[in-house]
Amino acid sequence: MSIKYFAAETGTNLWRNRLMSLAAIFTVAISLSLVGSALLIKQGVSTATAEWKGNVQLLVFLQPKISPTEFTAVEDQLHQLPAVKSFSYVPRAQAYADFRRLLANQPDLVNAVPESAVPTFLRVSLVNPAETRAVAAIFQGQPGVDTVNDNFSAINTITTVSNVAQTVILAVAIILLVSAAVLILNVIRVAIFSRRREVAVMRLVGATNSFIQIPFMLEGLVQGLIGALVATGVVILVKSLIGYAISHFHMHLLEGFVLTSHNLIETIAVIVVAGVVVGTLGSTIAVRRFLAA
Amino acid sequence: MIKFENVSKSYSKGSPAVRDISFEIDRGEFVFLIGSSGSGKTTLIRLMIREEKPDDGTIWVAGKNLVTMPNWKVPHFRRNVGVIFQDFRLLPNKTVAQNVAFALQVIGKPNRFIATQVPQILRLVGLEDKMERFPHQLSGGEQQRVAIARAFVNRPLILLADEPTGNLDPDTSWGVMNLLERINRTGTAVVMATHDVGIVDSMRRRVIEIDYGHLSRDQVRGVYGLGV
């Protein structure tokens, strides 16, 4: 009979205080939507940064008159260096084609440079982007090598910006979660206050504290859960909107900003657990005040 | 049944509510607790249901020492004590029957038990034809009888009444008093705080008078005014 009583009581209470319940649900939904979106963005930034970092490349430009021995020496060295993940030789024809493609919007420049003036080069990927400088120094000034180009400083800037961004987003998410908890506690406290007569009668006739508490806890739990489900919908929407925006507006810089369904499931799990915990805890703390004997 | 030994209680604001009070009430007694407003009657009632703890002294109710009783035992203790108030304290959004049933539900009584007990107790208080009404559709006297039904449905050994006729006209008050007397005849001790002179004088029951927190009189078959 108890389970039936608690279910019925929770249902009636939710319906009878539907405006308050809605307020609580919306509070949870909005807070958790923000938290969830923040987490998603953080994950996206994190994968994007990893992608950018993985893309650190050294371009070893070769002198036009490099001798085969010098070329083999450079290649051998690349083979031996543990810091080198892989490398490939870009022959003149391909280098010229790349050059034409990249600068297609500047036809004057493209036409002024003959194929013979385009240098050949080796494209080198590294195991650890942090070693870029050191590896570049090895080849700089080596016979047959013209210059070594690295995009290390650019990557460095991106990494710093992304670290700061992730910290800020995480801080915002935590602040939002805490304010969500406080808001829920207050909403449920008001809901309980509006039912203090019932609680007073229950205590008067000898209902145990747990008996009085359970419907309120269930109510908070249901509110937290519904709010979390709404937030889940919002987060799924946010994810597809981000995906759409990146592909539709050709934001190539953000191509690494990939949100996997694994990210999504993780975020949803966090949201649902947070909703349930915050709802139940909030109502438990709120009802305890009225039960202080 | 109820035993106060040198009980004192003061609130942080104002003067002590009750000072060094001792009395004993036996099983099946009917006792009036009289005194002017603010004399400490309500404090005594609150002490008897352990809504308050005394600063000093010992209180025994229904065989339990309320001073040493841990908080978690209070709900089960309260099931042995019925209480009614001047303001009825019914739940406005429940019907008469639901108000009474609620008291049984929340102490975990089975539905079948509730289904038989509620009509029976409402017949006892004379409200069997108003079970589906809401409290605001009833007169004050009828509401108080619902409150009595709720307090008595669990057949407690003690019924405490804090100015139960305070909001009622004389005729209605007598209806409530007759009901309390009938309940008393079933063996339930009734303790009623009141300052209704007419009722006390004509019932001629034991009177305990509280005067500024002191017990000033404890008289068998007493009246409201001094001596006989």
What was the pLDDT predicted at B172? 92
Residues from chain B that touch A3, judged by Cβ atoms under 8 A, are none
Nearest to B71 among A1, A198, A293 (CB): A293
Nearest 5°: the CA angle B214, A205, B78 is: 55
Categorize the per-residue pLDDT at A244 as very low, low, confident or very high, splitting at 50, 70 and 90: confident
**What tens digit of pLDDT does each residue of A119-153 get?**
888 888 887 777 777 888 888 878 888 888 777 67
Nearest to B107 among A198, A205, A209 (CB): A205
Residues 34-53 of B with CB under 8 A from A: 49-50
A260, pLDDT greater than 80: no
Q: Does B19 touch chain A (CB under 8 A)?
A: no
Contact B91 A204 (CB under 8 A): no
Categorize the per-residue pLDDT at A292 as very low, low, confident or very high, splitting at 50, 70 and 90: low
**B148's tokens:** 């009595």
Residues from chain A that touch B148, judged by Cβ atoms under 8 A, are none
Domain with CATH 3.30.70.3040 in chain A: 57-150
Residues from chain B that touch A1, judged by Cβ atoms under 8 A, are 108, 110-111
A195, pLDDT greater than 90: no
**What tens digit of pLDDT does each residue of A201-217 get?**
888 989 888 888 888 88
A191, pLDDT greater than 90: no
Contact A201 B93 (CB under 8 A): no
* pTM, entire model: 0.69
| Distance from the B221 Cα atom to the nearest Cα atom in chain A, whole angstroms | 31
Pairing of strands B30-34, B206-211: parallel
Contacting residues for B43 by C-beta, under 8 A, at least 6 apart: B9, B17, B18, B52
What was the pLDDT predicted at B88? 94
Q: Which residue of A has its CA nearest to B155?
A: A205
CB count, 10 Å around CB of A259?
A: 20
Regions in chain B scoring below 50 on pLDDT: 228
What was the pLDDT predicted at B212? 87
Total count of domains within chain B:
1
What was the pLDDT predicted at B84? 96
Contact B89 A201 (CB under 8 A): yes
C-alpha distances (whole Å) from B167 to each of A135, A243, B32, B38 are 95, 69, 17, 17
Contact A1 B78 (CB under 8 A): no
Domain range enclosing B143:
91-155
Q: Which residue of B has its CA nearest to A201?
A: B89
**What tens digit of pLDDT does each residue of A142-188 get?**
888 888 877 767 777 777 887 787 788 778 777 877 777 777 777 77
Half-sphere exposure of residue A293: CA atoms within 13 angstroms, side-chain side: 21
Interface with A, mutate which of B81, B106, B148, B160 (most A CBs under 10 A) = B106
B71 in any annotated domain: no
Q: Does B228 touch chain A (CB under 8 A)?
A: no
What is the DSSP annotation of chain A? Answer: -HHHHHHHHHHHHHHHTHHHHHHHHHHHHHHHHHHHHHHHHHHHHHHHHHHHHHT-EEEEEEPTT--HHHHHHHHHHHHH-TTEEEEEEE-HHHHHHHHHHHTTT-HHHHHHS-GGGSPPEEEEEES-GGGHHHHHHHHTT-TTEEEEEE-HHHHHHHHHHHHHHHHHHHHHHHHHHHHHHHHHHHHHHHHHHTTHHHHHHHHHTT--HHHHHHHHHHHHHHHHHHHHHHHHHHHHHHHHHHHHHHHHTT-GGGTT----HHHHHHHHHHHHHHHHHHHHHHHHHHHHHHH--
Contact B75 A1 (CB under 8 A): no
What was the pLDDT predicted at A293? 46
Contact A201 B103 (CB under 8 A): yes
The CATH code of the domain at A57-150 is 3.30.70.3040
| Distance from the A211 Cα atom to the nearest Cα atom in chain B, whole angstroms | 7
Residue A215 φ/ψ, nearest 5 degrees: -60, -35
Please state, rounded to an integer, the average pLDDT across all residues of chain A.
81
B77 in any annotated domain: no
Q: Does B72 touch chain A (CB under 8 A)?
A: yes
Q: Does A208 touch chain B (CB under 8 A)?
A: yes
Contact A205 B89 (CB under 8 A): no
Interface with A, mutate which of B48, B105, B148 (most A CBs under 10 A) = B105
Contact A207 B107 (CB under 8 A): yes
Q: Does B150 touch chain A (CB under 8 A)?
A: yes
Q: Is B108 helix (H, G, I), strand (E, B) or coil?
A: coil
A58, A147 in Cβ contact below 8 A?
no
What was the pLDDT predicted at A190? 75
Contact B91 A201 (CB under 8 A): yes
**What tens digit of pLDDT does each residue of A80-118 get?**
888 888 888 888 888 888 888 777 777 888 888 888 788
Residues 165-204 of A with CB under 8 A from B: 197-198, 200-204
Contact B102 A204 (CB under 8 A): no
What was the pLDDT predicted at B228? 44
Q: Nearest CA to A45 among A164, A174, A172, A126?
A: A164
